[in-house]
Amino acid sequence: MADVVRETFFSIARCANVATCLDTKLPHPCRAIVETQPEGRFQLPEPWVGRIDVAPLLFVASNPSIGDDAHALLSSSDDELWESHQLAFGGSRRAYILDGIRTTRPDGTPLKSVHYWASVRARARELFGLRDVRPGSDYALTEIVHCKSTKETGVAAAFETCRDAHLDAVLSVAAARVIVAMGRYAWRALGIAPSDCVRTLTLGGRERRLIALQHPSSFASPKTFAKAVTPAAIAALRAALVVVERATSSDRVAAIEIVNEYLQRIGVTPDPGEVSGEIARHLDDGGAAMWLARLGGRIVGCVEAHRLASPDAIEIKRLYVRPDGRRLGIANRLMDAAEAFAERCGVGRVCLDTRPTMTAALALYRARGYEPIPPYHDRSPEHLCFAKRVSAAPG
């Protein structure tokens, strides 16, 4: 996948259409936009900004503006181009964009704020429901026409050529679950309009949720999600941004933190050594696993699963969703992951327990087909035990 991302990136940054316009006088739909820049200081097309292959949220606009980019010229190296775009918000040898909104000098010091970047960051914060969003990881930016100009000069003429040459390739490497189309050219290319509210479409081989907003530089509305759609629609978009992944050793500290929080919430005083040891087993043992749900950079849920010696089953335990992650379907997604693990382990049954007072958990388990069973452990006579048949994965 990494090779495909780089290949797609450079097919745009080193676009053959630009070379045609610079090297010949032949008629070309891209000529007007290419010739808005002086050849001696020509800034290359901008494929995207941010880790497009990671970010769950993607903003799409018409075309990038001409800036003071000395790192995206015809003479720029491939390494510099890659770093200043894919790693623009962090992770490269120098800072290219600070705080998601400021350009920088070659020494990494701040230069100026960019209105469009600030607007995009504000919309990302609104949709994630978090102030501490991570530009470049939580969201990325791209355009329909990748050549730079001021006030969309040349975009109309180049629109179809650039869309047809690059849009499918960009979407095929984009991890985005939610795409925000900002402005008329993005609406047209992606097949959405402000009146559509939220649409679910398959683009680039993946199902995405799309929403249309006015471009930040427009005088029209809506420019915010709150003014564009209902709170329920925003919740659905936010739910789509949640990522559920199997925890690894790098997640150990965060995993311990959320398990301790869960235990405290149910009135159990955590034993640091016991929790740490159990988390370690779930991260390192092939017969056990843990999953974390993330919304932006924040972990909002967890679940654990491990194999029981008798009966031959997988036990699911410590299903927990933090208050700020509830009503987004996270519990069901965590259960999906744990049950899929049970199927891969080749067992035919999943067991779990809960307390009579945990009414939300009881309702969830019953809705997922769990049925009461006699106790399969001796933890507490107050615990209610449940089980569900699962299909062992073939092979």
DSSP secondary structure of 253-313: HHHHHHHHHHHHHTT----HHHHHHHHHHHHH-TTEEEEEEEETTEEEEEEEEEEETTTTE
Residue 395, pLDDT score: 54
Distance CA 216, CA 110 (A): 22
Cβ contacts of 225-234, under 8 Å, gap ≥ 24? 225/123, 225/126, 225/127, 226/126, 228/194, 228/197, 229/197, 229/198, 233/197, 233/198, 234/127
Same domain, 222 and 273: no
**What's the CA gap between 372 and 100, in Å, rounded?**
51
Spatial neighbors of 151 by CB under 8 A, at least 6 apart, are: none
Among 241, 267, 292, give the residue marking a domain's end. 241
**Are residue 321 and residue 368 in the same domain, yes or no?**
yes
Residue 394's pLDDT is: 59
- Which of 182, 206, 241 finishes a domain? 241
Rounded CA-CA distance 104/61 in Å is: 22
Phi then psi for residue 270, to 5 deg, are -65, 140
Residue 108 confidence (pLDDT): 82
User: CA–CA separation, 178 vs 60, rounded Å?
Assistant: 11
Helix H segments across 47-114?
78-85
Is the residue at 93 inside a domain?
yes
Same domain, 150 and 216: yes
Separation between Cα atoms, residue 141 and residue 262, nearest integer Å: 36
For residue 110, cis peptide bond before it (omega within 30 degrees of 0): no
Domain shared by 169 and 318, yes or no = no
Residue 394 lies inside a defined structural domain of this protein: no
How would you list the strands of the sheet with 97-98, edge to edge? 97-98, 102-104, 110-113
| Model confidence, pTM | 0.89
217 & 317 share domain: no
CA atoms within 13 A on the CB side of 353: 14
137/159 same-domain check: yes
Going residue by residue through the chain, which has 395 residues, state the pLDDT in tens, using 9 for 90 and above.
789 999 999 999 999 999 999 999 999 999 999 999 987 789 999 999 999 999 999 999 999 999 877 889 989 999 999 999 999 998 888 889 999 999 998 888 888 999 999 999 999 999 999 888 999 999 999 999 999 999 999 999 999 999 999 999 999 999 999 999 999 999 999 999 888 889 999 999 999 999 999 999 999 989 999 999 999 999 999 999 999 999 999 999 999 999 999 999 999 888 888 888 989 988 887 789 999 999 988 999 999 999 987 668 999 999 999 998 999 999 999 999 999 999 998 888 999 999 999 999 999 999 999 999 998 887 777 889 999 999 876 55
Q: Please answer whether residues 215 and 65 qualify as being in contact, where contact means their C-beta atoms are separated by less than 8 angstroms.
A: no
SS3 207: strand
Instruction: Please check whether residues 189 and 44 belong to one and the same domain.
Output: yes
| Domain assignment present for 294 | yes
- Residues 334 and 374 occupy one common structural domain: yes
Query: Cα Rg for the chain, rounded, in angstroms?
Result: 25
188 and 76 within one domain:
yes
- Residue 70 forms part of a structural domain: yes
* CA neighbor of 371 nearest in space, from 390, 345, 391: 390
122 and 197 share a domain? yes
The DSSP letter of residue 43 is B
Alpha carbon distance 268, 133 (integer Å):
32
- Does the residue 395 lie in any domain? no
Contacts 24+ apart (CB under 8 A), 326-332: 327/235, 328/235, 328/238, 328/239, 328/242, 328/295, 329/239, 329/242, 330/239, 330/242, 330/244, 330/293, 330/300, 330/301, 331/301, 331/364, 332/364, 332/368
Question: Backbone phi, then psi, for 59, in 5-degree steps?
Answer: -100, 130
Residues 153 and 230 in one domain: yes
Using DSSP, state whether 212 is helix, strand or coil.
strand
Q: Tell me, what CATH number does 97's domain have?
A: 3.40.470
Q: The CATH number of the domain where 289 resides is what?
A: 3.40.630.30
Q: Is residue 351 part of a domain?
A: yes
Q: What is the pLDDT of residue 311?
A: 65
Q: Which H/E stretch holds residue 182? A: strand 178-182
Domain end marker among 195, 226, 241: 241
User: Do 222 and 117 belong together in one domain?
Assistant: yes
| Domain range for 173 | 2-241
- Domain tally for the chain? 2
**Local structure of residue 51 (DSSP, 8 states):** -
